[in-house]
Structure 1
Amino acid sequence: MLKIWFALLGLFVGVFAHAEESSMSLLDNRFRVDPTIEQITFVVYREEPSRPVVLVRPDGKKYYAWRKPDNVRWYQEPAMDIISIDKPMPGPWQAVGKVTPKNKIVLISHLALTTDKMPERLFQGEQIKFTARLSSDGNPLVMRDFLDRVNLLVTFTKYIENEASLVKEARPIAHKIGDFADDGVGFDEVAGDGVFTVSLTITPDPGKYRVRITSGNGVFLRAQEQEVLVYPTPIQTTFIQSRVEGKQHTLAISGEKGMIEPGSIAAQIEHLSPDGTEDVIAKSAAEDAESVLIPIPYKGDIGNYSWMGRAFATELGSGRPLNFPIKEQTYSVLEEVDFAETRRLQEEERLKQQKLMEEMRLLEMREEKRTNTIIMITVANIVVILIGFAMWFGVGKLKLRPKKEEMPEMQLEMPKK
């Protein structure tokens, strides 16, 4: 019996020691980089949570997430490292980190980003569909764990000659006009297929720009770059509100001559009434026409209305289809005004104001007269008091003076000689 207990105790200690060694052991994953590889990405899975792995080059030099050369980019999560290296040293590399049953290293060699070429001439306000693709060794990259952590940014930077030679403070600021992911949302058709699709609205002011497509997590930087020209919008919209009951409103959409192909303008408008009713109106221009007039129904209900939509056209010369979203705009319908009644009410109000002003002037005159009277009474009282005081002072002084007959005669003695 005692031997059985010792055997069970030994088994428990052995299992515990094995588990402790497994959780603390280092992963010894080695992989070889071919001399022909110009760029490689390591996707390293590790225990969660744990510190990032240490990457060891063939010559023994170590790379850390917080200490690495400029050609190494490192994206980290609690259970994953994505490390991208430009021009890696050929030979056996090693990643050292915590072991987990899921732990593995996936090598993505010759990672490449290809994108649609943007038109060299864009129009402010237009919306374009833009697609980018990720590939490895020339094949679509379909590694979902990697793609879920990659989002692409599209930035427009004002064009300056020899931008790289300028100090950082003097370089133009890049403005993001869109970002997108391979998540099957919006214009992206299939999640995790290595194809990123987004709808971009060209918002920058007219001018020349550098367009850059980069990775949002820093796995690859400035992957694509292109120069484009942004022109002012060639589509103008004018809303003409009806002032006559029963007569429709009109939305006029016209294209700039020489920029828009005649007869190519079409539009779809969504019109929302105060009661929540929505009307969708679509119309296209007549052949060779440079504008289209879209009737908007007159509802007659008092309140606020709104409309928005989208205009389509074709660029003259290139034949490129154009798509312009029209932002929401509002207008109001008010009660019909009776001008005669309005004039009568205005006259009544004018007379009322005039009478009020006269009453205020009379009141001011009365107040002024009352004030003057009070001042006169006050002054008179002061004068009377002063006179009385003077008389009292004079009488008192007379009473103190002795009478003449009561004054003793003064005998003047002449000095004797």
Structure 2
Amino acid sequence: MATVIQRIIISLLLLLAYTQSTAHTIYAPNDIPLLDNRFRIDPNTEQITFILNHSEGPRRVVLVRPDGSKIYYKRNPENVGWVTSRTQDIVTIDNPMAGPWQAIAKLDGNNRIKLMSKVELKTNKLPLKLYSQEYITTHASLYNENKLMTNKAYLDDAKLSVALIGGASKTLTLYQDDGKGYDALPFDGKLTARVYVDLLPGRYLLNIRTKNDVFIRNVNHDAVVFLPPVSYQVDALEAGSDQALFEFKIDADELDPLSVTINGIIKDADNNIVEQLIIHSADNVSTQNLFTTVKKLSHNMFTFSAKAFATTRKGREVELHLPDRIFELVPPIVIPEANLSEALATVTEELNIAQETPSLLSDWRVIAAAGALFLLLLVTIAFILLRRRKKNKLSEENGEASLSLDELQPTPIDLKEDKK
């Protein structure tokens, strides 16, 4: 009887906490979102709590156990504590039956499950502050009674996913403990994920989850994404020059200005690598936290792709992806002076002839001379427009296929359909 009262008190406290949190959704570190009204409970689960949100109205929440038997609000066994309100049901079950469970209800809102189990997912310490376009690496492991789990039966097909949940949920990467990609050794219990934070600045919930057909475990972590602390531009040193000026700007409030290193590559219009470019801010950083370099290239169209490595003011080492830049070094447009002088002399001569001997033939000559000069100007303009059109076309093509410096990049793993 005492345990039943304790379960009801715990459920009441949970109900009070969740109904009072109207500002934003609260996730405990190991809460698991309830999706599709289904959930699998593994044999190591000591206690589980379902937090079910539904529309106002008659309460018709029913829990179906793996053996097909049902649990109701007013009819349930002694190991169940059930507290309900107009819009929420919180159900706590001690030593729940292992296997697939189902909640029969028209659920609405952020439904989740709280677990008390000997099996835990633990991750390395992650920073609260992240940067847009930053790469971060995280390690996660499963523990049973604080002992690292390496049993292949548990780890086989277990996938580690990392998602940032803000306005919408976005899965960033997916890994297995298979010794491939960034994972060091197969079935050593240590899953490694490399995450590219390709998100707009804002507040997010970093959700790390491992899942297979036997169990699911979660770790939730608050994260705030800030603007990238390094920006840059590249252009011709001057009009008609065959030298490109690379200028990088550092946010000195975020990074140590002397710690930035740029590792990039320059590719031509045919996607051939022209040169690798490595620049250190410590070599020429200015008082405005700018550092530059000049590279001599041919007159052509190029793409610059790079990463920045730096140290934050807090001492954290960061790796940033810099957006690709397409630039063009255009040769100076030179109109031969002799040709221009000859054309002007011809026009002047024909005008003089026309004034002295006005006739249909002279008028034709004047028109022809003026047309020749006009045609020369049209050819010059067409040359400029064609160069710009080629540059815009290359920009569109590069926008569809992003360049990367790493040959070894995170590769998504095709998820198998969950067994219902």
Aligned-pair Cα RMSD in Å: 4.2
The structure-2 alpha-carbon separation of the partners of 1:337 and 1:312, relative to structure 1 and needing over 3 Å to count, comes to: same
What's the counterpart of residue 95 of structure 2? 88
- Alpha-carbon separation, structure 2, partners of 1:114 and 1:222: 9
What's the counterpart of residue 63 of structure 1? 66
- Partner deviation per Cα, 1:149-185 (whole Å, 9 max, x = no partner): 1112212222xxxxxxxxxxxxx53222222222222
- Alpha-carbon separation, structure 2, partners of 1:291 and 1:355: 46
Gaps of 5+ in 1: 1-32, 40-60, 71-85, 95-108, 159-171, 357-417
Select 1:286's aligned residue among 282, 286, 296.
282
Query: Match of 1:117, SS?
Result: coil
- Alpha-carbon separation, structure 2, partners of 1:342 and 1:222: 80
- Alpha-carbon separation, structure 1, partners of 2:168 and 2:176: 23
The answer to whether structure 1 residue 260 and structure 2 residue 255 are counterparts is yes
The answer to whether structure 1 residue 190 and structure 2 residue 185 are counterparts is yes
The answer to whether structure 1 residue 326 and structure 2 residue 322 are counterparts is yes
The structure-2 alpha-carbon separation of the partners of 1:179 and 1:190, relative to structure 1 and needing over 3 Å to count, comes to: same
Letter in 1 for 2:310: A
- 1:349 Cα offset (Å): 10
Higher relative contact order (CA 8 A, sep 6+): 2
The structure-2 alpha-carbon separation of the partners of 1:179 and 1:62, relative to structure 1 and needing over 3 Å to count, comes to: closer
- Alpha-carbon separation, structure 2, partners of 1:349 and 1:282: 57
Query: Match of 2:185, SS?
Result: coil
- 1:222 Cα offset (Å): 6.1
What's the counterpart of residue 204 of structure 1? 199
- Alpha-carbon separation, structure 2, partners of 1:38 and 1:342: 93
- Alpha-carbon separation, structure 1, partners of 2:168 and 2:294: 43
- 1:216 Cα offset (Å): 4.9
The answer to whether structure 1 residue 299 and structure 2 residue 306 are counterparts is no
- Alpha-carbon separation, structure 1, partners of 2:223 and 2:374: 70
What's the counterpart of residue 133 of structure 2? 125
- Alpha-carbon separation, structure 2, partners of 1:224 and 1:342: 76
The answer to whether structure 1 residue 312 and structure 2 residue 309 are counterparts is yes
Query: Match of 1:146, SS?
Result: helix
Is the CA contact (8 Å cut-off) linking 2:231 and 2:322 kept in structure 1? Answer: no
- Alpha-carbon separation, structure 1, partners of 2:71 and 2:121: 23
- 1:313 Cα offset (Å): 1.5
- 1:328 Cα offset (Å): 3.1
- 1:324 Cα offset (Å): 0.6
What's the counterpart of residue 100 of structure 1? none
Give TM-score, length-normalised by structure 2.
0.51
- Alpha-carbon separation, structure 1, partners of 2:179 and 2:187: 8
The structure-2 alpha-carbon separation of the partners of 1:257 and 1:137, relative to structure 1 and needing over 3 Å to count, comes to: same
**Matched residues, number:** 256
Alignment of 1:106-121 (within 5 A): 110-121=118-129
- 1:267 Cα offset (Å): 0.9
What's the counterpart of residue 398 of structure 2? none
- 1:266 Cα offset (Å): 1.1
The structure-2 alpha-carbon separation of the partners of 1:299 and 1:353, relative to structure 1 and needing over 3 Å to count, comes to: closer
Is the CA contact (8 Å cut-off) linking 2:46 and 2:96 kept in structure 1? Answer: no
Is the CA contact (8 Å cut-off) linking 1:212 and 1:222 kept in structure 2? Answer: no
Query: Match of 1:63, SS?
Result: coil
The structure-2 alpha-carbon separation of the partners of 1:334 and 1:143, relative to structure 1 and needing over 3 Å to count, comes to: same
Letter in 2 for 1:113: L
- Alpha-carbon separation, structure 1, partners of 2:145 and 2:224: 33
- 1:244 Cα offset (Å): 6.6
Gaps of 5+ in 2: 1-42, 49-63, 73-92, 100-116, 348-366, 376-420
The structure-2 alpha-carbon separation of the partners of 1:211 and 1:218, relative to structure 1 and needing over 3 Å to count, comes to: farther
- 1:256 Cα offset (Å): 1.1
Query: Match of 1:223, SS?
Result: strand
Is the CA contact (8 Å cut-off) linking 1:111 and 1:136 kept in structure 2? Answer: yes
Query: Match of 1:209, SS?
Result: strand
Alignment of 1:15-414 (within 5 A): 37=46, 63=66, 87-89=94-96, 110-158=118-166, 172-217=167-212, 220-221=215-216, 223-243=218-238, 248-274=243-269, 276-286=272-282, 290-296=289-295, 298-300=296-298, 302-316=299-313, 318-339=314-335, 344=340, 351-352=370-371
Give TM-score, length-normalised by structure 1.
0.51
- Alpha-carbon separation, structure 2, partners of 1:195 and 1:355: 73
Rg (Cα) greater in structure: 1
- Alpha-carbon separation, structure 2, partners of 1:69 and 1:353: 93
The structure-2 alpha-carbon separation of the partners of 1:195 and 1:244, relative to structure 1 and needing over 3 Å to count, comes to: same
- Alpha-carbon separation, structure 2, partners of 1:350 and 1:150: 80
- Alpha-carbon separation, structure 2, partners of 1:62 and 1:147: 25
What's the counterpart of residue 5 of structure 2? none
The structure-2 alpha-carbon separation of the partners of 1:232 and 1:67, relative to structure 1 and needing over 3 Å to count, comes to: farther
Letter in 1 for 2:291: V
